[in-house]
Structure 1
């Protein structure tokens, strides 16, 4: 039930608010002559046995003893980011999944099970957006079995941090012993400013295929197998960019897939000896101009949160974080 703690601080949340976005203040320790407090904002994903679990925007779950609460209230969903295209989390997740398609997939309700012989987590994990059509434990058993049949670890990609995201699922996986391995940001931007970058695009070569030179510069794969080529070339309208160095070898590369109003950027890489020369911006600008020619107006990309250099580049290009996503791996031999 709702209760007060005295003064102006009041707890206005109850167990009935599980699933809502909340802001709470808790007593975190005694200081020199004054109590210390900690604030937490996120989705209330459980309230059991005197402990609240709140999942933050970045996917981290904070457990708070009920006895330490001094204030709490429900709060609106995070507002849309200015300068960023209007979109929902489910729409953006679906577009991103189409832009990096797996070699093999199967639907479990609204979950897409994806496999590509282990090439990238995105193409070898469940895109869990919506209802699997089964009770959660039964769905997780099916996921484990499906990936075991392909000698792959069972992994689920879950979004957090925006309206329509999957904080409840993330918390449920954590309670069942699944391990969160990777956190990434799904960022968006208006496409025209990327195309208008003051960058030398005259050296950027564009094509429909990732040729041998492009693949030699791509660091996500050694000798590319057929699954690598199928994923890279998959998507509605795919373009590859590369910038040759003085010897004709690729100094920088990039990939873009155009899907309606969206242009998705990936594999933007610059050789170590060619960095800080504006080549990444030139690749992005050239691909953006091609996407604009095809009618796109919005851009997205995915970047892991520990990739500081790439995040700094995308900051400068106007990309802002729409939401986070995480890959959860099933424990070996553990419960669903």
Structure 2
């Protein structure tokens, strides 16, 4: 890893490089004496109060003190792959969870209990990725009590068509009186063809922060509370897209993308009904994909409800294929 110019170590990155792929070297204390350096490569997702946050390709977030930097530079992203990605269920489940994080969570063995004051089922449901560490009846009782203490219904999110253990758990939940309420598809695709879409991205503005105009188009809540902003703003490297309306006011279209290692997740793609069939959703997707490609992502994912035929047709044309479906089971 080369950092030098004329034999000198240099820090050639600044807070203006947030969103870029970088390589940094930091000095760390060596209890055995002598100098010790640690190198980190990934996307620079923030630089605040003297601390850099860098997300590695694996999705791991590394915090680096500005005072410990001895070298740093931006590095080009790897060439984009144009074939559809391969993905195991555990990897994709964790990536999708990191893109939509709850306000509070608690482990139960290898399950994660998540809550966000009721804002979306994804952020207010159990993510079971293994053994809860106790007999199932006892685990389900704990889940019901945990959500009841927060005045929330108890939900468990399960994937179908992914691996046998999830489908086995679904059968066991049914035996314990839980019922499936909402179904959606998790779909994946190569990212580069989405960035190559023939779309007018000149009207699409990208931002790291969500604003009131963006929220006015996102109709998934009443008055946005802190839990809404926390969930929407979560993720390793999050971008918001806005297409302003011709005469101001509520935007004509919006979108959200979370870059996490090789994955770029697309969410909240919404278009004003009066502005549909003008290519705005495609433009939003293309603009976000191009930014994700710059950060080194190569694969795309999204979630779409099974009965949303219009969105499914759009994503079909972009090359998305269904990886698995997921269902939210509710305790009766």
Task: Please tell me the TM-score bracket, short chain as reference.
Answer: 0.7 to 0.9
What is the DSSP-based 3-state SS (H/G/I as helix, E as strand, rest coil) of the residue aligned with 1:246?
Answer: coil
Question: SS of the residue aligned with 1:247?
Answer: coil
Contact 1:89–1:165 (Cα < 8 Å) also in 2: no
> 1:307 offset after TM fit, Å?
1.3
| Structure 2 match to 1:235 | 235
Q: Which residue of 2 aligns with 1:62?
A: none
Cα shift at 1:222: 2.2
Structure 1 residues 155-164 or 246-255, which shifts more? 155-164
Q: CA deviation at 1:310?
A: 1.2
Cα distance in structure 2, aligned partners of 1:259 and 1:198 = 25
Listed one character per residue, the Cα deviations across residues 93-131 of structure 1 (whole Å, up to 9, x for unaligned) are 111000000000001111110000000000000011111
Change in 2 beyond 3 A, CA 1:165/1:209: farther
Q: Does 1:182 align with 2:182?
A: yes
Calculate the aligned-residue CA RMSD, in Å.
1.2
- Equivalent residue for 1:300? 301
TM-aligned CA deviation for residue 219 of structure 1: 1.2
Could you tell me whether the CA contact under 8 Å between 1:191 and 1:288 is conserved in 2? yes
Matches within 5 A, 1:95-106: 95-106=95-106
Deviation sequence 1:221-280 (CA, Å, 0-9, x none): 221111000000011000000101211231000000000000000000001100000000
What CA distance in whole angstroms lies between the structure 1 residues aligned with 2:83 and 2:302? 15
Alignment of 1:1-336 (within 5 A): 84-163=84-163, 166-249=166-249, 250-331=251-332
Structure 1 residues 299 and 99: CA distance shift in structure 2, 3 A: same
TM-score (structure 2 length as normaliser): 0.74
Q: What is the rounded CA distance, in whole Å, between the counterparts of 1:269 and 1:315 in structure 2?
A: 17
3-state SS of paired residue (1:139): helix
Tell me, in whole angstroms, the C-alpha distance in 2 between the residues paired with 1:122 and 1:163: 20
- The Cα of 1:164 is off from its aligned counterpart by 5.6
Deviations 1:128-169 (A, max 9, x none): 111111111111011001001100000000011023661000
* Preserved CA contact (<8 Å) 1:88 1:163: no
Distance in 2 (alpha carbons) for counterparts of 1:261 and 1:194: 15
- The structure 1 segments of at least 4 consecutive aligned residues displaced by more than 3 Å after TM superposition are none
> Whole-Å Cα distance in 1 between the matches of residues 140 and 222 of structure 2?
32
Cα shift readout 1:183-221 (whole Å, capped 9, x = no counterpart): 110100000001000000010000011101000000112
Contact 1:118-1:152 at 8 Å conserved across structures:
yes
Task: Please give the alpha-carbon distance, in whole angstroms, between the structure 2 residues aligned to 1:241 and 1:165.
Answer: 37
Structure 1 unaligned spans of 5+: 1-81, 332-336
SS at match of 2:239: strand
- Aligned-partner Cα distance in 2 for 1:239–1:165: 34
CA distance in 1, matches of 2:268, 2:296: 22
Match of 1:22 in 2: none
Q: Is the 8 A contact 1:262 1:298 kept in 2?
A: yes
Change (3 A) 1:209 1:165: farther
Partner of 2:40: none
Q: Report deviation, 1:303.
A: 0.8
Count of matched residue positions in the alignment of Structure 1 and Structure 2: 250
